[in-house]
Structure 1
Amino acid sequence: MGKGQANMGHTVVGIYYRPPDQEEDVYEAFYRQLEIASQSQALVLMGDFNYPDICWKDNTARHTQPWRFLQSIDDNFLAQVVGEPMRRGALLDLVLTNKEGLVGGNLGCSDYEMAEFRILHGRSRAKSRITTLNFRSADFGPFKDLL
């Protein structure tokens, strides 16, 4: 890093879909991953969380799983930034972040429209790192012996 350059760190972006009939062990795995991801310098987590009974104005829920979800958001210092209901008057599609001012744009829409937002992260361009495995140079001999 050169002189005068700020350490911008990395932005972690995640997408999550919670089906209404999700298993209990999957909840706990999600909460563990959320705890790890929220320690990032900048986190944006978006998705369809399917918690129609959460009251975002009061930050309350009537059932155990939505209440546990709210508790996890609070424990990990995350903020929910979608402002308008998306489906049947409920906020099911959420954008969570751990850094104020990181997400901007039009975050209210219906189920049939696109929610558009920008991740605002300094002036530098984001660098994408994609790892691709090269199977052409792999040694498949041990696998053939097992078969």
Structure 2
Amino acid sequence: MPSDIRSVILDMVRNSDRPVKDIADAVGKPYSTLMRELDPGDARAKLGVELLLLPLMQACDSTAPLRCLAEALDCRLVSNRGITPDKPTFHEELLDTYQALVDYHRAMLEGLPPDVVGKKRETLIRQLKEDFAFYVARSGGGEG
């Protein structure tokens, strides 16, 4: 993966399932203007990330620029797509999370290998997301 954001965005646009001209239309830019703004060799062109990045990512259905930025900060990007509670009641959902926390802590206390502990951590994170999804659906509020 390229390490500078402009190259990542250019790759995202070029590798999208949509034609570049359609993407330019979707973000409200003439094709030639968009390509100039994405050209890593054109130091005078301004990408306008704050106004263009999110619409480009939505038009391409890609999170590649976010992954690039996260990696540059030694972080990771985690999707919330497909997170739905898997228990019929909020109480049962919370109990699943409690058990996942116990399993995670027990794995560390037992000195299990980092990859095993990491899997327990991912299970715990998913359970927490399911709790929150249930809570939001139950309260009728938007995500916070």
- After TM superposition, the score normalised by the length of structure 1 is 0.21
